[in-house]
A and B are shown apart, each in its own frame.
Chain A
Amino acid sequence: MTGMLAVYQKELASYFRSPIAYYVVAVFLLGTGYFFLYNVFLTGETTMAGTFQNMGILLTTLVPVISMRLFSAEFSAGTAELLLTLPLDPWQIVVGKYLGAVSILVLMTAGTVVDLVPLYLFGMPETTTILAGYLGFVLLGMACLAVGLFFSTLTDNQIVAALITAAVLLGFWFVGHLQSFQRSDALRGLVGYLSFSLHFVDFIQGLVRSEAVTFYLVVAAVALTLSANYLKWRR
């Protein structure tokens, strides 16, 4: 536990001593602010639905920037040789690093709360719907970060890790659109189930379905398990 905590603290410190955290949070908040203005003031609807939808796709492009360095940087800087020979189980390393990245996610999510101020000042938004949206957004981010962490264990090149992660995440985001091309129900169901965005839509509409919660958590768990086992195997 101490070891995992130390890894977590080191990870957070590395984020904030490099420009990455500031860059990601700034881009995300600027982007979200723009979408919020666009969605709310142009349509006059006091909901976050449109903004959440945009936040989701913005997230899939920013997650690779957060996750690319998690392991790739350790391999390229040679620090993996320290990290993997310290008295740490690969699980402790993976979870410590993952929680560091999730902290950045939570931080950038918290920043968007500013947008709620005008919403409550000038309208009557549904609080529970907004809370469900935030829950879905954080769960979506957690699943994406775990996927990014896994690809970062596979290469010592941060750019490669980021590009693969971005491609895979965008694939999972848009895979739901394939539904209309499928004739068989089984394939339609499968494509729909794999879609990161279709599950997210439920949350945006204020629907917290246990199936959707489980989906994101399972994706995260599978990606983290693969990462820890890959680290053990590559010895």
Chain B
Amino acid sequence: MNSDSAVIALESVSKRYGSRTVVHDLSFTVDKGEIVGFLGPNGAGKTTTMRMIAGFIAATSGRVCVAGHDMATENVEAARLIGYLPERPPLYDMLDVSSYLRFVAKVKGVPRASIVAELERVIAACHLEEVVRREIFKLSKGYRQRLGLAQALLGRPQVLLLDEPTAGLDPGQIHETREVIRAFGDQHAVLFSTHILAEVTLICRRVAIINHGRLLAIDSPSGLRRALEETHRVMLQVSAPAADVRAELLSVKGVLAVDVHAIPGHPDVLAVDCQVEPQQGLEAAIARAVTRRWDLHRLERQQPTLENIFLRYVNAPTDDP
């Protein structure tokens, strides 16, 4: 990560409300041309972080920089370069879609001559053609979400901040929204938060996992997977006495822990769960050890999914009192 190319840079950012700390010492960067997924359970501090980057709230300590502008002092200058979709789409119910977009375009400084073209561009990108003249309070949830996204795309900002952009959309719309984000991320910096893990693997170059306001990990989806391979597991089913199979497996080099339990409805078969070191050929060694004395019914190495990774990081004990 080169900090010169970083479009979004957070340096030990904290946000406190009274005695409650919502974001703890958070540092990360997002580069130009990069899509970063922001992952965390509800209440993890995602929205607060997004709001600090967008300049809606100020950090209690630390520094938030967007395109070289310190958000504490130059937030108005930086705002020209940011497209922001808050968690709740910020729509004026009384306006119609086109006047709403026109208002945002004017404030964002889109030149008068190109406003019409710019409106057409975002309306097409977010598939809003059918509702251009409709009042916003009459729009469905999916349209509201997409209008919020359209608003954020106006003026081709360098930075796109999207707080759960696919919430409330149907599967087809989710797919279209992802395509919009992907296309936009080619030339811009995109940070978007989501609960949907699959979404992150599909379009993000890097994933930041946050919980209790702390950054737990930031890496590529495959990098996160690799980091967890050291706690790989091998699952097997075998017909054998429990104590013997445990002793046998623990004697295999590389097996760290063995957990044996019965399978309901199959009295003579045991399910065995081994925690192993991430070395090659370990399954073969385990298989050899077991088949020497008993019948092996099944053996598989479990790949860590992003789900597992996420849960592991989020459930890991923290230093919190």
Contact = CB atoms under 8 A, between A and B. Distances in A.
A127 interface: no
A6 interface: yes
B99 interface: yes
Interface residues of B, number: 31
Interface in B3-57: 51, 54-57
Interface string B56-97: 111000000000000000011101101010101111111100
Nearest to B83: A85
B107 A77 contact: no
Contacts of B89: 78
A10 interface: yes
A78 B80 contact: no
B104 A82 contact: yes
Contact of A87 (B58, B94, B109): B109
Interface string A167-203: 0000000000000000000000000000000000000
B91 A2 contact: no
B145 interface: no
A176 to B, nearest CB: 39
A6 B106 contact: yes
A180 to B, nearest CB: 46
A7 B102 CA distance: 11
A235 B56 contact: yes
B103 A6 contact: yes
B151 interface: yes
Contacts of B77: 87
A156 interface: no
B54 A85 contact: yes
Interface in A64-85: 77-85
Interface centre among A2, A9, A88, A89 (most CB of B within 10 A): A2
B108 interface: yes
Contacts of A17: 94-95, 135
B79 A88 contact: yes
A86 B79 contact: yes
Given A2-B109, A87-B76, A88-B107, A82 B90 contact: yes
B126 to A, nearest CB: 16
Contacts of A82: 84, 86, 90, 104, 151
A40 B206 CA distance: 77
A10 B103 contact: yes
B54 A2 contact: no
Given A86-B108, A87-B107, A235-B57, A81 B86 contact: yes
Given A3-B109, A17-B135, A87-B107, 7 more contacts: A2-B107, A14-B95, A18-B94, A77-B91, A77-B93, A79-B92, A85-B56
8 contacts: A14-B92, A17-B94, A77-B92, A79-B90, A84-B55, A85-B56, A85-B84, A88-B76
